[in-house]
Amino acid sequence: MSNPAHPDLAASGRVYAGERSRLRDNISRFVSLASIVALLILFTAMNPNFLGAPNIRNLLTDISPILAMSCGVALVLLLGSIDLSMGSIASCSAVMLTLLFGPLGWWAFAAVFLFGVFAGLLNGVLHAKLKVPSFIATLSTQSIWQSAAYIISGGQPLTLVPGNWGYVNWVRAKSLGPLPLGPVPPLFLIALAVMIVYHIYQSRTGTGKTMMALGANERAARLIGLGIDQAKIVAFTLSGIGAAIAGVFFAVKLKSGIPTVGEQYNLIAIASAALGGVALTGGRGHILMVILGVGLITVIQNGMNVVAVDGFWQQIVFGLLVLAAIYMNSDRRRRDLVVK
């Protein structure tokens, strides 16, 4: 806060009332699991095919791009910051991938990955070094990458020419070499890998732990000797990579490079991370739990089609279910928690 105003008052407000073991933290995680289970039961009751193998495959495919983005933005949310540029980075990546298959072949994936690194790095440097609020920094880079997507694609939605389908047919593979995958699509395995890598990085490396620490108390993290700017830049870079991977998923899944494909996913990814228990004010949250938030939103969207929610009511039901899920997830026990 701008003025410390008699710390005695502030300090007395911050006393942690009573015993708050880490278990109570976990209860809120199981709540989002409980709400998913409740919805699964309900939707299956209404239409048994909901849990049929094809729809499980659909659910897991739909989860993949949002999961890649949500894990990225979850790291940024841990800092207490926000990343609004994921949508455009994903769109730009989808367009690039479609174009680069021709000249680079399999290396196109690497090139798009590097683009994700660069885009995330730019956000991190603008925020950490120039001290521009992350809301504005990422909102501005969103419009920059949106323009880039238009320019690269020449204003046309790009089709992946059949000649290059070879690079993307693995998406529909039903087995990983000898191992039959059943309903699990390859995209989901990659998304899971991203989640696990991001979780390990956040929980088991110095920079990763710094992200959580500085989100909880940046002043203390600085004095403890943690690398604040480095952690911020890496968090935004990983978020950029997550967005690029989501862009690759869109391109590979839709066999197209559409410059506006990722536009709507900024807020969905942030809502998913929040539903997964990541606090928007930073310092609280668990990467592995983000899949619960993403799963919940995907189950809602998919379920509404399976049980034929009337077209006019879909947006209303979606909003109400997100509100209910967040209500059950919010931490109402700590009286002194300031919720902005």
Candidate ranges 113-121, 191-199, 235-243, 332-340; the one touching other proteins (CB under 8 A): 332-340
User: Which span (109-117, 156-164, 191-199, 237-245) binds other proteins, by CB under 8 A?
Assistant: 156-164
β 158-159/256-257 pair status: antiparallel
Out of 14, 177, 178, 179, the residue judged to bind other proteins by CB under 8 A: 14
- The residues facing 312 across adjacent strands are none
Within positions 92 to 111, which residues make up the interface with other proteins, using CB under 8 A?
A: none
Nearer of residues 52 and 117 to other proteins, judged by Cβ: 52
Please give the sequence-ordered ranges of beta strands (E in DSSP) within 129-233, or none if there are none. 158-159, 175-176, 179-180
Cβ atoms of 194 and 238 within 8 Å: the answer is no
Whether 97 contacts 221, CB under 8 Å: no
DSSP string, 234-285: HHHHHHHHHHHHHHHHHHHHHTEE-TTTTTTHHHHHHHHHHHTT--TTSS--
Cα(84)–Cα(100) distance, integer angstroms? 26
Candidate ranges 14-22, 105-113, 188-196, 233-241; the one touching other proteins (CB under 8 A): 14-22
175 binds other proteins (CB under 8 A): no
The span from the CA of 217 to the CA of 244, in Å, is 30
Q: Does 10 bind other proteins (CB under 8 A)?
A: yes
174 near other proteins, judged by CB under 8 A: no
Q: Compute the least distance from the CB of residue 46 to other proteins, in Å.
A: 6
Per CB under 8 A, the segment of 28-36, 108-116, 191-199, 236-244 that binds other proteins is 28-36
Mark 264-293 with x for binding to other proteins (rule: CB under 8 A) and - for no binding.
xx-x--xx--x----xxxxxx---------
Residue 212 as a binder of other proteins (CB under 8 A): the answer is: yes
The type of residue at 275 is L
Per the CB < 8 A criterion, the answer to whether 298 and 63 are in contact is yes
User: Shortest CA distance to 238 belongs to which of 37, 69, 39?
Assistant: 69
Question: 225 to 244, contacts with other proteins by CB under 8 A?
Answer: 225-228
Could you give the count of Cα atoms lying within 13 Å of 111 in the half-sphere of its Cβ? 17
How far from the centroid of its chain's Cα atoms is residue 68's Cα?
Answer: 5
Of residues 26, 49, 173, 196, which one binds other proteins by CB under 8 A? Answer: 49
Q: Which is nearer to other proteins, 10 or 173 (CB)?
A: 10
- Selected from 105, 114, 143, 166, the binder of other proteins by CB under 8 A is 143
Torsion angles phi and psi, residue 178, rounded to 5: -70, -25
Q: In the structure encoding, which two tokens stand for residue 145, read together? A: 């990458």
Verify binding: residue 179, other proteins, rule CB under 8 A: no
Residue 228 contacts residue 218 (beta carbons within 8 Å): yes
Per CB under 8 A, contacts with other proteins among 58-87 are 58, 61-62, 65, 79-81
Cβ of residue 186: shortest distance to other proteins, in angstroms? 15
Region near other proteins per CB under 8 A, out of 100-108, 186-194, 235-243, 318-326: 318-326
Number of C-beta neighbours around residue 315 at 10 A = 11
The overall longest dimension of the chain from CA atoms, in Å, is 70
Please select the residue that binds other proteins; options are 133, 173, 175, 193, rule is CB under 8 A.
133
Closest separation in Å from C-beta 324 to other proteins: 4
Q: Is 178 in the site for other proteins (CB under 8 A)?
A: no
Return the SS3 of 176.
Answer: strand
User: Applying CB under 8 A, which part among 100-108, 190-198, 220-228, 233-241 lies near other proteins?
Assistant: 220-228
Number of chain positions touching other proteins (CB under 8 A): 149
